[in-house]
Structure 1
Amino acid sequence: MADEERMSEATTPKERTRARILDEAAKAMREKGADGIGVAALMKRAGLTHGGFYAHFENRDDLVAHAVDRMFQDSDFLLKRHLAENAAAKGLSELIDYYLSDETRKRTDGGCPLPSLGGEASRMPAAARQRFSEGIQAFRAALAASLTAFGSPDPESLAASVLAEMVGAMTLARTLDEDAARVALRASREQLKRRIGLPALSN
């Protein structure tokens, strides 16, 4: 979901301010990790004063937990756009193409948080870890539902495997140079589609 859409859903000045803080926190966490988000720097980034932070969050741990929620809202929007609005085969194919695209690789400040933060989730505050786990479960459940509709055998296990491969492929691609990353992502798209039973060709 675009930041502008979220801001338009906020109905009061306080809600709009909170949404702005969370949008900036989510971007900062994707770029620098949970440990790289400081209250003072974040509020400055959001164009707000340090003192205003505590009108919206109890402490930094509370902010991190809600920022994790914000990031998985983006994942939920992505899943609904591709899976809920299309037939199963088309939706799964489009999701794989988008998730493992060069565009997604370059956009490190947005989208699904798993490639950026999966490795450090275990070190997050307890509430953030719980919300991270719930986000993973929701993503996997959405994949399983589409795989069930597609007629895949053992869709639950396949969904867990597909999610792990997508996240791992994107995480790896972001460590490679441009050419190697494109090759790796294309190979992952094709192999995933072949394994699921979808047409393997992609852009």
Structure 2
Amino acid sequence: MGRSSAEQAQQNRARIVEGASRLFRERGVEAVSVAEIMAAVEMTVGGFYKHFASKEALVEEAAGRAFEDAGALWDHRLRAGDQTSAALRAKLVAQYLWPRPGRQCPIIAFAPHAAGEAATLRETYGTGTGALLERFFNTPGNEADLAQADPRTLLVFAAMVGARVMGEAAGDAPWVEVLKQAVADEAERQAGWGATG
């Protein structure tokens, strides 16, 4: 019975982390309460404190989970098929810039909280974002140290994230689409698909 209880506790904790990760990415850390998280996973607020000392402790774990999930997704997309590294990146850029609703990138979702007073989250955020950057430039057949990465590839990564941030903040303003398209075009140009220049 003890083993079953321990397994159930692990499953409950995992449900809380997963639910929090989803809600934080959808609405932002500050906009989600512990009560809302627990309601979303159909558990009581009192049960929260059996698993976490504070909301901050949950935020850190949920952010780590979000970065792991994003990393697995990026690995899948950046290692699919036998295309060139630049072609795989161009596909990821296109998918990243025009995401499905509710699929918030952890780089964007957790940035405001990590930039604030949350020093513990800052380390998790830095590690997670750095890992996604490494995946972006370090595709199969293109393994290199970040210091040797093509600066154009790094600029596409930064522009991709920046364009999506502005797009989410400004909505469907015409200039947002122009900006996103410019980033996608540059990724395609690097892949040899798009316009020359």
- Same fold flag (TM > 0.5): yes
| Counterpart amino acid of residue 129 in structure 1 | R
- 1:38 counterpart (33, 38, 54): 33
The aligned residue for residue 9 of structure 2 is 14
- 1:147 is displaced (CA, Å) by 8.5
Distance 1:52 1:169 in 2: 40
> Where does 1:41-60 land on structure 2 (aligned, <5 Å)?
41-60=36-55
Check conservation: 1:28, 1:36, Cα contact below 8 A.
no
Residues 137-189 of structure 1: per-residue CA shift (max 9 Å, x gap): 101111221297299x9416444322211110111112334362444322320
- 1:33 is displaced (CA, Å) by 2.1
Distance 1:156 1:123 in 2: 31
Check conservation: 2:63, 2:110, Cα contact below 8 A.
no
Distance 1:68 1:185 in 2: 26
- Long gaps (5+) in structure 2: 1-5
The aligned residue for residue 3 of structure 2 is none
Distance 2:143 2:61 in 1: 34
| Counterpart amino acid of residue 127 in structure 1 | T
Check conservation: 1:24, 1:45, Cα contact below 8 A.
yes
> Where does 1:63-78 land on structure 2 (aligned, <5 Å)?
63-78=58-73
More helix by proportion, 1 or 2? Answer: 1
| Counterpart amino acid of residue 43 in structure 2 | L
- 1:163 counterpart (151, 157, 170): 157
Q: Which has the larger radius of gyration?
A: 2
Q: What is the TM-score when the length of structure 1 is the normalising length?
A: 0.77
Check conservation: 2:137, 2:149, Cα contact below 8 A.
yes
Distance 1:127 1:48 in 2: 26
Identity of aligned residues (%): 25
| Counterpart amino acid of residue 140 in structure 1 | L
The aligned residue for residue 100 of structure 1 is 97
What is the Cα-based RMSD across aligned positions, in Å? 2.8
Check conservation: 2:164, 2:180, Cα contact below 8 A.
yes
Change in CA separation of 1:118 and 1:185 when aligned onto 2, cut-off 3 Å: same
Number of residue pairs aligned between Structure 1 and Structure 2: 185
The aligned residue for residue 133 of structure 2 is 140
Local SS of the residue matching 1:175 = helix
- 1:22 is displaced (CA, Å) by 1.4
- 1:39 is displaced (CA, Å) by 1.5
